Amino acid sequence: MIARLLRRNGWSSTEAADLARLMRLCAELPPPPDPLGYYPHAVELRERLRGRLARVVSPASATRAEEEAVAEQLEEAFLEFYAHLHGYEAPYTREERRRVDKSGGYWCHAGGVSPILRARPWVGADTCLVDLGAGNGLQGLLVQALFPHRLSVQVEISSRMIEAGKVLCEWLGVEAERVRWVERDLCTLSVEELTALGSDFVYLYRPLRPEGPGRVFYERLATALAATAAAGREAVVFSIADPLRPFLRGSWRELYGDGHLTCYAVGGEAPVRRRKSDSRVGAP
C-alpha cells in the first residue's frame, strides 16, 4: 500500500518500493542514538514519520487527490527526518570551516533520496562506493542498508562528522567492515590516492568549487576515473549540482540528468550489477 501511494509522487514502481523500505526501516528502528547532541529533533521527527505510516490505510473509496495528499504528507515526514539526520548544521571546527569556505564546498547539504533510489541498477555485491565529501556518511549508509555491497568509502574532512557517522552506521545495522572512513581534505588527495580508493561508484555533491584548488581536485578525479577505464574497469558517477562534466575525458556517457542529479558511466557500457538477493531491508 505504501509503495503504491508513493508512486503518486512520480516514483517508479521499483523506486517507490525501495523508498517504502527506507521509511519502514527508519520507523521500526529505535530512535537514533545521539551521544554528541547533533540531532535534537530526531525523536520528534521519527514519531511524526511513524504516525504518518500508521495512518496509511487502503480505503476503497479514496480518490486520486486524496491518495496524492497522503503520499505527499508521508514523503515530507520522511524527508524531514532524513534531512535532520544528514546534519546540514554540521559541527565543523573553525579551521575546517575556513578550509571548506576557501574551496567553495557545500555545507553537508542533504543530496535527497533520488541518488539513493536511482543507485539500484549500478550497485551489486562487489561494488565499492566512494562518497567524496561524505559528511556523516548517511547517504552512503542508506545505500549500503538498502543495497548491500562490498565496501562504502566515506571521505570527509571533519573528524566529528566521521564520529557521528559511525554511530549512525551501528544504528542502521550496517556491518562496520563494510564501511571505511577516511579523514582527509579533498584538496590534498593525489591522483594515485583517488585511484587507489578502488571505487566503481563515485558519489559527490559539489564538494569544492571548480576553480583554484577545486579545479585541481576535479582534474585529478577525472584522471583517476580515466585510469580506471584504461585498466578495463568501469565507474559510475552520481554527481549533484554537477561540477565534473567539463573535466571528464576518454570514454564516458551520461546515464541520467535532471538538473539536480547527473549520472555518468566512465569506461564503456555500464552493466546492471544489482542482484535482488542482496537486499536486507524487508519488503513494504
For residue range 162-211, what is the model confidence (pLDDT) as tens digits?
Answer: 999 999 999 999 999 999 999 999 999 999 999 999 889 999 999 898 98
**What is the predicted pLDDT for the residue at 218?**
95
More confident residue, 100 or 278: 100
Q: Confirm if 272 and 245 have CB atoms less than 8 A apart.
A: no
Question: Among 254, 246, 256, which Cα is nearest to 221's?
Answer: 246
What integer pLDDT is reported at residue 268 of this predicted model? 60
pLDDT of residue 192: 94
Residue scoring higher pLDDT (67 or 174): 174
- Boundaries of every domain in the chain: 2-86, 98-278
Q: In this predicted model, which residue has the larger pLDDT, 159 or 64?
A: 159
All three cell numbers of 103, joined, read 574551496
- Identify the pLDDT of residue 274: 42
Task: Look at 131 and 284; give whichever has higher pLDDT.
Answer: 131
- Average pLDDT of the residues of the chain: 87
Distance from C-alpha of 244 to C-alpha of 217, rounded to nearest angstrom: 10
Question: What cell was used for 87?
Answer: 546534519
Q: How high is the pLDDT of residue 279?
A: 44
Backbone φ, ψ for residue 235 (5° rounding): -130, 140
pTM value?
Answer: 0.88
Q: Are 111 and 138 in contact, with CB atoms under 8 Å apart?
A: no
Q: Residues near 145 by Cβ (< 8 Å), separated by ≥ 6? A: 22, 25, 172, 173, 174, 280, 281
| Residue positions counted in the chain | 284
| Across 62-69, average pLDDT | 84
Residues 244 and 138: beta-carbon distance below 8 Å: no
Class in CATH terms, 98-278: alpha beta
Q: Quick one: pLDDT at residue 106?
A: 53
Cβ pair 26, 171 in contact under 8 A = no
**Residue 275 confidence (pLDDT) above 60:** no
- The per-residue pLDDT for 58 is 62
Give yes or no for residue 228 having a pLDDT over 80: yes
Q: What is the pLDDT of residue 49?
A: 97
Give the contacts of 151 (CB within 8 A, at least 6 positions apart): 127, 128, 129, 178, 179, 180
Lowest-confidence region among 73-77, 110-114, 238-242:
110-114
Name 236's bridge partners. 201, 265
The per-residue DSSP string of 190-257 comes to: -HHHHHHT--SEEEEE--S-SSTHHHHHHHHHHHHHHHHHHTT--EEEEEET---GGG--SSEEEEEE
Which single residue is written with the C-alpha cell 521527527? 45
Q: What is the mean predicted confidence (pLDDT) over 85-96?
A: 68
pLDDT at 87: 73
pLDDT value for 175: 97
3-state secondary structure of 116: helix
Q: State which H helix or E strand residue 37 sits in.
A: none
Angle, CA 283 vertex, CA 280 and CA 284 arms, to 5°: 140
Q: CA-to-CA distance for 29 and 282, rounded, in angstroms?
A: 13
Looking at residue 59, what is its pLDDT? 58
